[in-house]
Each structure stands twice: as structure tokens, then as C-alpha cells.
Homo-oligomer: A and B are copies of this chain.
Amino acid sequence: MELELTGLHDSLTAPVSESMNFLNEIAHRFPDAISLAAGRPFEGFFDLADVPRYFDIYRRHLTDRLDGDEAAVRRTLLQYGRTKGIIHELIAEHLRVDEGITVDPQALVVTVGCQEALWLTLRALRRDERDVLLAVTPSYVGVHGAARMADLPVLPVREAADGIDLDDLVAVVRRAKAEGLNPRACYVIPDFANPSGIRLGRETRERLLAIAADEDLLLLEDNPYGLFGDPAGPPTLKALDRRGQVVYLGSFAKTGLPGARVGYLIADQKVSGAPAGQDLFADQLAKLKSMLTVNTSPIAQAVIGGKLLAHGHSLRAANARETETYRGNLNQVLAGLEKRFGELPGVSWNSPTGGFFLLLTVPFAAGDDLLEHSAAAHRVLWTPVHHFYADATPRNVLRLSFSHLRPDEIEEGLDRLADFVREQIR
């Protein structure tokens, strides 16, 4: 039996779906290229022995918690289990220690990475064809993908130097409402956004929360990189959230282990009309999860739980070396760009204070065709920014990532990038 692509769900022919595929595929086609494209965590400190070690630390913790009942420990770790997860209390403690967030563990759902947390939230918020999502744009490819798969259109909100153009946010919300649409939520990465690396200031955060309350809008706060930033930086939106405007989307892919595929969400909003005991938004999202992935592997959760326990619930403490690496890489890239492009008209870049990414502006439209050429002729990869707009219009901006590279790879990668850019300008 043959199927037709046009007969399948339309997310499969959307530009975002092609984006994810193209970006994966080009890395495989040019394995000797240096990738300033991949947003993967640094793997220099990865240790396979951590897996059984963390698993065992969590197992012993659980044995204590269950008063030595070994059968209950086996059941918890190996059998089907609680839909909302088993390490919720450890995560709540981590949030208290590292982020100053106070959360009822019952408002947490442990998910298969942050991507499932995002998708569940979008699916729940999509009631009918009037519902729309707002997203500070350019934005993470995965939010476009998840929204498309939840049949939820995305209305872009302009990014500004301080992270979000709040006037545009209000204008987009009001225009949507005037058109009979129902803006449900705004997706934002307040700390070192993907792709721009921008971090929202404290005042912008407070104003954003006030607007959300005024406009009856949820904020979906995605925070995979914040923990590597200066601890004296601004609090998360969730830590400032007094009125339940924020659904917090958490990831352990960068701070824990990508291979565990464990993330979580905080959804402490009350749901009116729901039965007692299911009246948190987290309970409703867990119901969706029970129909999607049933529960998150307790074995994978135990590995993350063990890492939390091994470091006094602090992933900031656990990631001291990684944090230093990312800061060093960022500084090296900023200095390297200055050295290579400082005098070049039409070339500029922003200067994030943390995170995995920055944006490089060039005096030519940098689309997929030029990326192909860059990969083939210069053996360097970067990400055309149009992928973060979910369209196919090349723009004069490249996303550069530097999280997973060693210093020598950064220098060589920037040399190759400079050759490519100078060739295009000539």
C-alpha cells in the first residue's frame, strides 16, 4: 500500500518540518564540517559510569523513603508508574535551591524532555480553530513544530534589544481578539533565548507579567539555559509569578543528561469545572500524557534524580565545569568575531551574557543554498535564521552556536566562517 504525503497531517509538509529535517540531514552529509549550528550540550564531561551511579543513588534514596520495602522499590522503578512522575519532590527542591521558585510538587508533571511538556500544554490550550499561540520571534524551531502538530497557529511577537517588544505584544493580542481569535498563551525564553541569546531584564519581566494578567494570557516560560548564567541575574518569570500567569517548561537536557530525555512542567493554575483532586492544570496535562506516552521512564527519572541527590539538589553546583566552559566559549566567540569581522562593513553581532547562541548579521541573504555552499566549500555549518521564523524567506542573519565545541574547534570554525563571509561580500 502506498500513502501520499499530501494525504497525511499537514504538519508534515509545513516549512518547520522541512527545517528540522534539513538541519539534521546537512550535518550528516558533511561530517567533517565544524558545526556552529548544533545546540547540543558540551560532552567533554560525559561519563558512562554516571548512569549506574546515579541510578543507584536514587535507588538507595527511594529505599529509605519506602522504609526498606524492596518490592515497592522494584515496583516504582521497573513497573508502570505514576503519570505525573516520581522525582517531582526532588525537582521542587531543585527549583527552590537553584531558581528561588516555590512550587507544590503536585503541580509538576515529569515529561519526556521539555518538548513533550511544551506539546502537552499546547494541545490542552487548543480547543477550536480560534485558538492561537503567540511566540517571541525568531523562536525555537521546536515551538513552531509542536504548535503545528497541535493545529495551533503561531502569531509572531517582535523581539527587541531587551528581549521582547511589549508594545507589539499588546498590539498582536488586541488585533487577534478583534479578529475573533483567542490568544491563549505567549511562548518566551527569557534567559538566553534560542536563537538570539537575549536575556530579559527584571523590569521587562515585571511588565510582561502585568500585561499577561491584563490580557488574560498565559506565559509559557522555557528555560533550558538560565542555570548557566550569572546567579545574580534576574529571577525567572515563574519566581516572580504572583497570579498564576506562568506555565514553566523545564529541561534537564543541558543541566542533567540529554540521553535521559527527562523534562517537566509546572502548571499550578486552577481549572474550574474539574473534579476535586484534578483541579490543577498539571492534572489535566497529566491526563493528556496518559494518552500520549503513559508515563516518563522511571529508570530515566532515577538517573536524573540521582544526579540531583548527588549535588544537594543543585544543578548549578553540578554544572560548575560546564558553566565555566560555556562562558569561556562565549567570550572566545565574541573576541574571535571582533578579531575577524571588527573592520568589516555590514557585519555585526549581538553580545549575549550567557547561553548557547548569538546572532551574526551579514550584508547578504543567508539561506539554505548558502549554507549548502558553506558546508561543501568551507566545511563550516551555521543556522539560517529563517528556520526560526518557520518560513522559507532567507534573511541577513545567521545563528551561531558554540556550546559543544572545544577552543581549537571554535578558532578553526570562525576562520572557516570568515572565509565564507568574505567570499560572499567580495
Contacts and interface: CB of A to CB of B under 8 A. Distances in A.
Interface of A: 1-12, 16-17, 20-21, 24-25, 40-41, 43, 46-48, 51-52, 55-56, 59, 71, 73-75, 77-81, 83, 112-113, 115-116, 119, 123-127, 142, 145-146, 148-149, 151, 213, 216, 218, 243-245, 253, 257-262, 269-274, 277-278, 281, 284, 287-288, 290-300, 303
Given A43-B78, A253-B80, A293 B113 contact: yes
Most buried by B among A79, A81, A253, A257: A79
Q: Binding site of A, secondary structure by majority: helix, strand, loop or mixed?
A: helix
A269 B112 contact: no
25 contacts: A1-B245, A3-B269, A3-B281, A4-B272, A5-B272, A8-B127, A9-B124, A40-B79, A40-B80, A41-B79, A43-B78, A43-B79, A47-B74, A51-B299, A78-B259, A112-B261, A112-B293, A116-B292, A149-B291, A261-B293, A261-B297, A262-B297, A293-B293, A297-B300, A299-B299
Contact of A115 (B55, B142, B291): B291
A73 B48 contact: yes
A214 to B, nearest CB: 11
A21 B56 CA distance: 32
Nearest to A53: B52
Most buried by B among A261, A273, A290: A261
A238 to B, nearest CB: 13
A270 to B, nearest CB: 5
A149 B297 contact: no
Contact of A125 (B8, B125, B142, B269): B8
Contact of A291 (B83, B119, B270): B119
Given A3-B271, A43-B75, A51-B299, 18 more contacts: A3-B281, A4-B272, A9-B124, A24-B83, A43-B74, A46-B74, A51-B55, A78-B258, A80-B258, A81-B259, A119-B292, A148-B291, A151-B151, A259-B297, A259-B299, A261-B293, A261-B300, A299-B303
A281 to B, nearest CB: 6
B288 A113 contact: no
A419 B300 CA distance: 43
Given A51-B55, A55-B51, A259-B78, A9 B288 contact: yes
Contacts of A300: 261, 297, 299-300
Contacts of A124: 8-9, 12
B259 A1 contact: no
Contacts of A77: 48, 51, 259
A252 to B, nearest CB: 11
Contacts of A259: 77-81, 297-299
A189 B257 CA distance: 36
Closest 8 CB pairs of A and B: A145-B291, A5-B273, A52-B52, A261-B297, A78-B259, A112-B293, A1-B244, A46-B74
B80 A257 contact: no
B10 A127 contact: yes
Contacts of A299: 51, 257, 259-260, 299-300, 303
Contacts of A115: 291-294
Contact of A273 (B6, B59, B81): B6
A293 B253 contact: no
Contacts of A261: 112, 293-297, 300
